[in-house]
A and B are shown apart, each in its own frame.
Chain A
């Protein structure tokens, strides 16, 4: 399978613990996104990487959240001191932007990592 993969698929943790999610994008994709989704809502943008550079962060991304993409390949999203409000599905997506072509850059999403904070 050459799609976007996320690990773990499910994580249950106690409030105050740290959790880390990993995303492996499609290999040739230069852009990587993290989204968060709660029940009944559409995905909310968290942050974006162009290769290894983190170019944009949403105000939703508090100081307890940190994302990295070393070497421009896989990415990790860490949540420190988890709170019950952090319970959500965390989605990773990747895309390839070809500046020569208009209307390109479709996002490919992984199946998500579901976090439950007790």
Chain B
């Protein structure tokens, strides 16, 4: 399972774009980059996933360069409600369990 590294915390203001970078130097060929969001006292929630290049949904964008050794989660125009912990994971869906291995995540604090 690929190890991911991301900043422990980030600060931002409402209306700004936030980019959280994750490094995964030993990512395997079949791994997908997956991001989850967790609010206090709730379970994590899937945000976005991708394999390469760029993926965009109604919540975020995910940029993955050609070498796939890093990725960037982009949150456009954050609001106070985006304050949460964001987890970057490398997930292999072909395995027997596809269990998720979480790190400590990035605590994003959005201020007014």
Contacts and interface: CB of A to CB of B under 8 A. Distances in A.
B72 interface: no
B7 interface: no
B41 to A, nearest CB: 7
B99 A56 contact: yes
Given A42-B105, A103-B51, A106-B46, A48 B99 contact: yes
Given A102-B94, A103-B51, A110-B43, 6 more contacts: A44-B102, A45-B100, A50-B97, A55-B97, A97-B93, A108-B46
Interface of B: 32, 34, 41-46, 49, 51, 85, 87, 91, 93-94, 96-105
A95 B93 CA distance: 11
Interface residues of A, number: 31
Contacts of A4: 43
A112 interface: yes
A103 B43 contact: no
Interface in A76-107: 89, 91-93, 95, 97, 102-107
